[in-house]
Chain A
Amino acid sequence: MRKSSAFWLILPALLGVLLFVFYPLFQIALPTFHSGSANIFSLYEKFLSENYNLQVIGRTILIAIITTIITLVLSFPAALWIARQKKFLKSLLSLLILFPMLTNAVVRNFAWIIILGKDGVINEILLSLHIISSPLNILYTNTSIIIGSIYLFLPIMIMSLIGSVSELNLEVEEAAAVLGARPLVSLIKIIIPQLTTGILTGCILVFAGTMTAYTTPQILGGNRHLVMSTLIYQQAMTLGNWTNASVIAIILIIISALTMLLMGRVMKKIDRRAINA
Chain B
Amino acid sequence: MLDSQNKTLRVISILILFLIMLPLVLVIVTSFGNQASISLPIHGFTFEWYKNVFAQPDFIAGFKMSLLVALIASLAALVVGIPAVYALTRFKLRHSSWLQSFFLSPALIPEIVIGFSLYQTAVITMKLPLLLSLIIGHFLLCVPYVIRLITASMLLLDPHIEEAAWICGSSPKKTFFVIVLPNIKTSIIAAFMMCFINSFNNIPISLFLNGPELNMLPTAILNYLQNNYDPTVSAISVMLMIFTALIMFVVEKVLGINELTR
Q: Which residues of B contact A155 (CB under 8 A)?
A: 20
B219 smallest CB distance to A (angstroms): 9
Residues A147-205 near B (CB distance < 8 A): 151, 154-155, 159, 163, 173, 183-184, 186-187, 191
CA of A252 to CA of B119 in the docked complex: distance in angstroms? 18
Contact A215 B204 (CB under 8 A): yes
B214 smallest CB distance to A (angstroms): 15
Q: Which residues of A contact B204 (CB under 8 A)?
A: 214-215, 229
A113 smallest CB distance to B (angstroms): 8
Which of B88, B111, B121 is close to A24, meaning CB atoms less than 8 Å apart?
A: B121
CA of A110 to CA of B241 in the docked complex: distance in angstroms? 13
CA of A151 to CA of B27 in the docked complex: distance in angstroms? 15
* Known A-B contacts A16-B139, A17-B102; A95 and B244 likewise in contact (beta carbons under 8 Å): no
- B191 contacts A by Cβ under 8 Å: no
Residues B124-171 near A (CB distance < 8 A): 125, 136-137, 139-140, 143
Q: Which residues of A contact B55 (CB under 8 A)?
A: none
A263 smallest CB distance to B (angstroms): 13
> Which of B139, B140, B204, B252 has its CB near the most chain A CB atoms (within 10 A)?
B204
Which of A80, A91, A102 is close to B197, meaning CB atoms less than 8 Å apart?
A: A102
A102 smallest CB distance to B (angstroms): 5
Q: Which residues of B contact A37 (CB under 8 A)?
A: none
Contact A110 B225 (CB under 8 A): yes
Interface residue stretch chosen among A2-10, A44-52, A130-138: A2-10
A82, closest chain B residue (CB): B13
Interface residue stretch chosen among A61-69, A231-239, A269-277: A231-239
Contact B117 A119 (CB under 8 A): no
A199 smallest CB distance to B (angstroms): 15
CA of A215 to CA of B221 in the docked complex: distance in angstroms? 12
Contact B87 A9 (CB under 8 A): yes
CA of A239 to CA of B226 in the docked complex: distance in angstroms? 19
* Known A-B contacts A78-B13, A81-B6; A24 and B240 likewise in contact (beta carbons under 8 Å): no
- A121 contacts B by Cβ under 8 Å: yes
A20, closest chain B residue (CB): B136
- A38 contacts B by Cβ under 8 Å: no
Write the B194-212 contact mask toward A (1 if CB under 8 angstroms, else 0): 0001001101100110000
Write the B90-119 contact mask toward A (1 if CB under 8 angstroms, else 0): 110100000100110110111111101111
A27, closest chain B residue (CB): B121
**Total A-B residue pairs with C-beta atoms closer than 8 Å?**
252
A contacts with B: majority SS: helix
Contact B112 A212 (CB under 8 A): yes
Interface residues on B, range: 35 or more
Contact B1 A183 (CB under 8 A): yes
Q: Which residues of B contact A107 (CB under 8 A)?
A: 24, 27, 237, 240-241
How many residues on A have C-beta within 8 angstroms of the other chain's C-beta atoms?
87
- A266 contacts B by Cβ under 8 Å: no
* Known A-B contacts A1-B172, A110-B225; A93 and B17 likewise in contact (beta carbons under 8 Å): yes
Which of B26, B233, B257 is close to A98, meaning CB atoms less than 8 Å apart?
A: B257
CA of A256 to CA of B114 in the docked complex: distance in angstroms? 14
Which of B2, B84, B109 is close to A191, meaning CB atoms less than 8 Å apart?
A: B2
B133, closest chain A residue (CB): A20
- B227 contacts A by Cβ under 8 Å: no
Q: Which residues of A contact B86 (CB under 8 A)?
A: 9
Contact A151 B23 (CB under 8 A): yes
CA of A27 to CA of B4 in the docked complex: distance in angstroms? 54
Q: Which residues of B contact A84 (CB under 8 A)?
A: 2-4
Contact A12 B80 (CB under 8 A): yes
Residues B8-33 near A (CB distance < 8 A): 9-10, 12-13, 16-17, 20-21, 23-24, 26-27, 30
Contact A10 B110 (CB under 8 A): no
Contact A78 B241 (CB under 8 A): no
Q: What are 7 of the A-B contact pairs (CB < 8 Å)?
A: A12-B80, A77-B16, A103-B241, A104-B201, A215-B222, A249-B112, A252-B113
- List 18 additional A-B contacts (Cβ < 8 Å) besides A16-B80, A81-B13, A215-B203: A13-B81, A14-B99, A20-B121, A20-B137, A20-B139, A78-B12, A78-B17, A96-B20, A103-B201, A104-B240, A111-B237, A187-B1, A208-B108, A219-B225, A236-B208, A237-B207, A249-B116, A257-B108
Please report B residues at the A interface, Cβ cutoff 8 Å. Answer: 1-4, 6, 9-10, 12-13, 16-17, 20-21, 23-24, 26-27, 30, 38-40, 80-81, 83-84, 86-88, 90-91, 93, 99, 102-103, 105-106, 108-114, 116-122, 125, 136-137, 139-140, 143, 172, 197, 200-201, 203-204, 207-208, 218, 221-222, 225, 229, 233-234, 237, 240-241, 244-245, 247-248, 252, 256-258, 260-261
